[in-house]
């Protein structure tokens, strides 16, 4: 098989774009894990809700895409906050396994509700980022990949600024590091749980509404996205923010490269890479070298 430079750039660009989406998902897993020591099996459904909310706001209510994008992400963040208040908080005094099982229940419930609202048909989201390729010299680039990467970079940069520059962001990190000590600083640690759940869900939601104009929207679309996001988080080093970003990008690019050779196995490739990396580095790429 023969690739031109332009082909290769295309493949890497689409890999980085998908990788940015995986990174958003992986960050969602990471942030809620750090707050609640919880693997949230409903994270994929936040992605689905982002896409379906976006669809309703943009296609049915005819809001500008930028507004639909923001409202969809914020709407999913509110869903995350409601889940924390109604499910995670009451279950906190039980073993964490109970909570993890509960997230499976949340996932099933959300999919059933989504099916009632949006139906079982795959829905088309108009190509808001334009579907005509742009040419830069000899390179032919799809604009939606550039948009996805650009927006994801902004979202991640804002998240990073929140964690390192603002008092609530520092308080959230402190609570993740030492919950009792954080409480002794006067931090309302339950409010931090709520915020963590909202941010995690919102990141999933932004991922979903970003990808919606590229793929079809279905109520089941969260399942694979959730798995890939989780794989990316593990790949990078579970529980760390840089790990989630690196894991997402590595997964996206290697998947894209592999798919260009054997397109039928695109999704299997992700998990082969995951297993191979974990055999080589059990703590993930950026993980601590323990165990």
Partner 1 sequence: MLEVKGVECFYGNINVLKGVSFRVDKGEIVALIGANGAGKTTTLRAISGLVRVAKGEVVYEGRSITNHPPYAIVARGIVHVPEGRQVFQELSVEDNLILGAYTVKDAAAKRETLRQVYERFPRLKERRRQMAGTLSGGEQQMLAIGRALMSRPRLLLLDEPSMGLAPILVREVFSIIEEISKTGTTILLVEQNARMALKLADRAYVLRTGSIVLSGSGREVAANPEVREAYLAE
Chain positions contacting partner 1, by CB under 8 A: 167, 170-171, 173-174, 177-178, 180-189
Tell me the sheet residues that pair with 134: 141
Length of the chain counted residue by residue: 291
Least distance from partner 1 to the Cβ atom of residue 119, Å: 45
Select 20 or 175, whichever has its Cβ closest to partner 1.
175
Select 5 or 165, whichever has its Cβ closest to partner 1.
165
Least distance from partner 1 to the Cβ atom of residue 261, Å: 41
> 65-83 and 43-55 helices cross at what angle (nearest 10)?
140
Q: Which residues contact 161 (CB under 8 A, 6 or more apart)?
A: 169
Least distance from partner 1 to the Cβ atom of residue 190, Å: 8
Select 33 or 147, whichever has its Cβ closest to partner 1.
33
**Burial state string for 98-127 with b = 16 or more CB within 10 A and e = fewer than 16:** ebbebbeebbeebbeebeeebeeeebebee
Q: What is the CA radius of gyration of the chain?
A: 19
Least distance from partner 1 to the Cβ atom of residue 239, Å: 12
How far apart are alpha carbons 284 and 185 in whole angstroms? 33
CA distances from 88 to 24, 47, 73, 82, 131 (A): 22, 19, 21, 9, 42
> Do residues 221 and 51 make contact, with C-beta atoms less than 8 angstroms apart?
yes
> 43-55 and 5-36 helices cross at what angle (nearest 10)?
120
Select 145 or 238, whichever has its Cβ closest to partner 1.
238
Least distance from partner 1 to the Cβ atom of residue 175, Å: 9
Least distance from partner 1 to the Cβ atom of residue 272, Å: 33
Select 57 or 172, whichever has its Cβ closest to partner 1.
172
Select 119 or 168, whichever has its Cβ closest to partner 1.
168
- DSSP calls for 32-57: HHHHHS---TTHHHHHHHHHHHHHII
Least distance from partner 1 to the Cβ atom of residue 172, Å: 11
Least distance from partner 1 to the Cβ atom of residue 149, Å: 29
How far apart are alpha carbons 88 and 81 in whole angstroms? 10
Q: Which residues contact 275 (CB under 8 A, 6 or more apart)?
A: none
Select 192 or 250, whichever has its Cβ closest to partner 1.
192
Select 132 or 180, whichever has its Cβ closest to partner 1.
180
């Amino acid at each position: 098989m023969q690739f031109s430079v332009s082909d290769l750039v295309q493949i890497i660009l689409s890999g980085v774009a998908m990788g940015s989406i995986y990174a958003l998902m992986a960050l969602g897993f990471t942030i809620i894990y750090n707050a609640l020591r919880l693997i949230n099996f409903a994270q994929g459904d936040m992605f689905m809700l982002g896409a379906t909310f976006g669809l309703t706001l943009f296609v049915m209510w005819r809001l500008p895409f930028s507004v639909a994008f923001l409202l969809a992400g914020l709407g999913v963040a509110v869903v995350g906050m409601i889940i924390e208040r109604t499910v995670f908080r009451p279950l906190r005094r039980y073993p964490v396994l109970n909570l993890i099982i509960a997230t499976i229940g949340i996932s099933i419930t959300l999919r059933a509700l989504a099916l009632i609202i949006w139906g079982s048909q795959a829905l088309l989201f108009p190509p808001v980022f334009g579907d005509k390729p742009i040419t830069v010299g000899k390179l032919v680039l799809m604009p939606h990949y550039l948009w996805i990467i650009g927006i994801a970079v902004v979202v991640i940069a804002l998240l990073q600024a929140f964690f390192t520059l603002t008092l609530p962001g520092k308080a959230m990190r402190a609570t993740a590091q030492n919950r009792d000590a954080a409480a002794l600083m006067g931090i309302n640690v339950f409010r931090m749980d709520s915020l963590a759940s909202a941010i995690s869900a919102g990141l999933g939601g932004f991922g979903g509404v970003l990808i919606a104009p590229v793929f079809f929207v279905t109520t089941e679309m969260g399942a694979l996205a959730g798995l890939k996001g989780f794989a990316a988080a593990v790949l990078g080093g579970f529980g760390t923010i840089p790990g989630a970003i690196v894991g997402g990008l590595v997964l996206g690019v290697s998947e894209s490269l592999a798919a260009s050779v054997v397109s039928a196995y695109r999704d299997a490739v992700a998990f082969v890479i995951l297993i191979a990396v974990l055999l080589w580095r059990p703590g993930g790429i950026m993980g601590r070298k323990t165990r």
